[in-house]
Amino acid sequence: MKRSKDTFKLNYQYRIVPDNQQTYQLNEWLCKLCWIHNLMLEERFNWWECNRHPVNTCPIFITHLPELKDQPTYYSQKRAAHWSREAYKHLYEGVHSQVIQEAIKRVEDTFNRFIKGDLNGKRSGKPRFKSVRRYRTFSIPQLKPDCLAVTPNPHRRQNGDTRRDIAYINLPKVGQVKLIYHRPIPEGFTIKAALVSHRADGWYICLTLEDKSVPSLKLPKIEATQENSVGLDVGLEKFWTASDGEIEPIQQHYRRSESKLAKLANRKDSKPHKSASRRKLAKKISKHHQRLQRKRKQFHYESATKLVSRNEKVFFVEDIKPGNLSRKSKPKQDESGKYIPNGQSAKSGLNKSINDAGWGQFLSILTYKAAKAGKSVVKVKPHNTSQVCSCCNRLVKKDLSIRIHECLCGLILDRDWNAAINIKRVGLGIFPTIKRPKRSPERSRRATTKEAYTVIFDSV
């Protein structure tokens, strides 16, 4: 769901069933677009390596100074001279021109995030050249409003129920493609664009629907109180725990299928390279991962719907970054430079469980569902929410293995429940201020170099 200034947009995904000729054509498009992607990326990398240093600071005794060139952009690559050459005619012949332009735009966005960063200044990793198996999606920026043809199915089921309508979508230069019309398009919406992707079990299309008659109304700001708000603490033993004591059991989809996937992977590795049996097992593993992904996403939607159906209007959740929580431990070295154990073998299981839970996807879905229902999701800092007693505000230090909160005031509570209450208190602004303890010089990062650079934390 996306709102612009004067339109309202939705994304609906359907499965398409192309015939043999259309399947061959779509696969050929992906191969050509992958080739174009690598060609455009190579041109940008050549410019980057030759022009990344200023002329006045470039080491001229080591680096060759080539002829300076302008930075490749979307418009320059779209109108490049090599498109008119006979050697590159096979790349764009038969492919829709706007599809090629969208592929070049995709390269520009990826490269700009690597050079400049996004709106927040956060840079992504270096773009990679893609193989044909890794390039699975292309975009069609424009579709005709009447590209979708839906006719009622005259046949009925054995119990008398009506069957699903018969639908075909007209893709440019591909023709009429059968579409599994399992979800009707809302009245008043028109099809603007499409995203075609090839997955393990077939082809899918994501339609962008637009309705210009829906005004962009701002949701009223909800003032959080004790009665209309609830705190949520996500975890690995229980998926989430509410501040009123309600819990949602966790469903470890990957953990339950881990042994089966390991057996399939061992069978695949034992097969000869580039053999038919190896490809069949690889496709079987891909389908199994796809089922796990769908199960996890379905569970997240059901859990978010369960929360949104409650009477509360404000949900306080932790502002966590699962990618940082599941990072590898930094390597440790002794005085002689030999690597010593850093606890990564024990943390690898924790990282796997964090990725299996999918907290980030769940919080995104909860935010979307809450906004659709006229409610709000507020992220708060989770610092010390599991260590502070929710009754007397006393700091009770405990490791991750301790799952029961016991305080000197007599409060004995589940650790996650206590954290959920504190998360709600942080959102309401009644959580106590806890000072961080000062770090000793031995634990300081720079204590081994100079004593003057010892960092002392005495902030709130």
> Which tens digits make up the pLDDT trace of 196-215?
999 999 999 999 998 887 66
Cα 432 to Cα 48, 192, 198, distances in angstroms: 51, 51, 52
Q: What percent of the chain has pLDDT over 70?
A: 87
Is residue 62 very low, low, confident or very high in pLDDT (cuts 50, 70, 90)? Answer: low
- Position 172 scores a pLDDT of 93
d(CA 417, CA 216): 38
Residue 63, pLDDT score: 53
Return the closest-CA partner of residue 284 out of 267, 299, 270, 301.
267
pLDDT of res. 249: 94
| pLDDT score of 454 more than 60 | no
- Strand 339-340 and strand 190-199: the pairing is unpaired
Q: What is the pLDDT of residue 19?
A: 95
Q: How far is it between the farthest Cα atoms of the chain?
A: 84
Q: Classify strands 166-171 and 332-333 as parallel, antiparallel or unpaired.
A: unpaired
pLDDT band at 449 (very low <50, low <70, confident <90, very high): very low
Q: How confident is the model at residue 86 (pLDDT cuts 50, 70, 90)?
A: confident
pLDDT of residue 72: 86
Least confident of 49-53, 76-80, 407-411, 422-426: 49-53
What pLDDT shows up at residue 457? 29
Q: At what angle do helices 359-372 and 344-357 cross, to 10 degrees?
A: 20
pLDDT at 215: 63
Read off the pLDDT band of 73 (50, 70, 90): confident
pLDDT of residue 92: 84
**Residue 31: is its pLDDT beyond 50?**
yes
- Mean pLDDT value across residues 389-413: 89
What is the pLDDT confidence band of residue 152, given thresholds at 50, 70 and 90?
Answer: confident
Token pair 């038969």 in the structure block, residue: 94
**Rounded Cα distance, 27 and 4, in Å:** 34
**Tens-place pLDDT, residues 296-314:** 999 999 999 999 999 999 9
- Among candidates 352, 445, 426, which has minimal Cα distance to 387? 426
202-218: buried (b, 16+ CB within 10 Å) or exposed (e) per residue?
ebbbebbbbeeeeeeee
What is the band of 450 on the pLDDT scale with cuts at 50, 70, 90?
A: very low
Section 405-432 average pLDDT:
90
Model pLDDT for residues 276-292, shown as the tens digit of each residue: 999 999 999 999 999 99
**pLDDT reported for residue 57:** 58
At 64 the pLDDT is 57
Mean pLDDT of all residues belonging to the chain = 85
pLDDT of 195 over the 70 cut: yes
Convert the pLDDT of each residue in 264-279 to its tens digit.
999 999 999 989 999 9
pLDDT of 416 > 60? The answer is yes
Structure confidence at residue 74 (pLDDT) = 87
Secondary structure of the chain as H, E, C letters? CEECCCCEEEEEEEEEECCHHHHHHHHHHHHHHHHHHHHHHHHHHHHHHHHCCCHHHCCCCCCCCCCCCCCCCHHHHHCCHHHHCCCCHHHHCCCCHHHHHHHHHHHHHHHHHHHCCCCCCCCCCCCCCCCCCCCCEEEECCCCCCCEEEECCCCECCCCCECCCEEEEEECCCEEEEEECCCCCCCCCEEEEEEEEEECCEEEEEEEEEECCCCCCCCCCCCCCCCCEEEEEECCCEEEEECCCCEEECCCHHHHCHHHHHHHHHHHHHCCCCCHHHHHHHHHHHHHHHHHHHHHHHHHHHHHHHHHCCCCCEEEEECCCHHHHCCCCCCEECCCCCEECCCHHHHHHHHHHHHHHCHHHHHHHHHHHHHHCCCEEEEECCCCCCCECCCCCCECCCCCCCCEEECCCCCEEEHHHHHHHHHHHHHHCCCCCCCCCCCCCCCCCCCCCCHHHCCCCCCC
Short-list 356, 265, 278, 363, CA closest to 319: 363
What pLDDT is stored for residue 401 in this prediction? 86
